[in-house]
Homo-oligomer: A and B are copies of this chain.
Amino acid sequence: MDFSSKLLENAVNEVSQLPGIGKRTALRLVLHLLKQPASQTAHLSQALLQMRNEINYCQHCHNISDTSICEICASPKRNERLICVVEDVRDVMAIENTGQFKGVYHVLGGKISPLEGIGPHNLHINTLVEKVSQGKADELIFALSSTMEGDTTNFYIFKQIEPYGITTSTIARGIAVGDELEYADEVTLGRSIVNRIPFENSLKNNY
């Protein structure tokens, strides 16, 4: 693209560094900002800068938090011995939205991925193993995505905590509530049959 202004070109280049945003989309966003009052751009820049420079992470679970211990870890209503292992803050938000989980989280910050150069030492695995080795956990629930990287990460952590003999589980994979069987993929349908649950248990679920 041939820009008529260096200022415009510079802004478009910076915006198009964001994932999933190409030059054309970046130009559209930047031209939108030019049509809006300058205060909108000021607020946006300020919010991004402030977030990046002042953000904190919970010392217990590594989730993004404005306080040194996050609300979930600090709550007396949560069972801190039941730990759900997740990839990032989006997973915490998704599970919290269900209102079904009364334990605490441990945010790894990613998954083991040799292709992207992410090894176990780039993730918050040591502090998790520490909690288990100090007898601070009864059960770990693995809630990583069921991809090669997710499975690898689960297995790596499992091997580290195996000696301490605590309960481990993974979230159930199966047909989504309300979905038709005929449209489900084979792997999911297969797993949902192998990992079937007693019918009485299914009655306890609230829709």
Contact = CB atoms under 8 A, between A and B. Distances in A.
A5 B97 CA distance: 16
17 contacts: A4-B65, A4-B72, A4-B92, A5-B55, A5-B56, A7-B51, A7-B66, A8-B51, A11-B48, A11-B50, A14-B43, A15-B47, A17-B40, A21-B29, A33-B51, A34-B52, A45-B46
Contacts of A4: 63-65, 70-72, 89, 92-93
Contacts of A7: 50-51, 54-55, 66
B33 A41 contact: no
Nearest to A61: B4
A96 interface: yes
A177 B120 CA distance: 54
Given A14-B48, A38-B52, A65 B28 contact: no
B11 A66 contact: no
A10 B90 CA distance: 16
A66 B32 contact: no
Contacts of A42: 49, 52
A45 B49 contact: yes
Interface in A94-150: 96-97
Contact of A33 (B8, B52, B65, B70): B52
Interface in A1-43: 1-8, 10-11, 13-15, 17-21, 25, 27-34, 38, 40-43
Contact of A8 (B40, B89, B96): B89
Nearest to A52: B41
Among A6, A11, A28, chain B packs the most CB atoms within 10 A around the CB of: A11
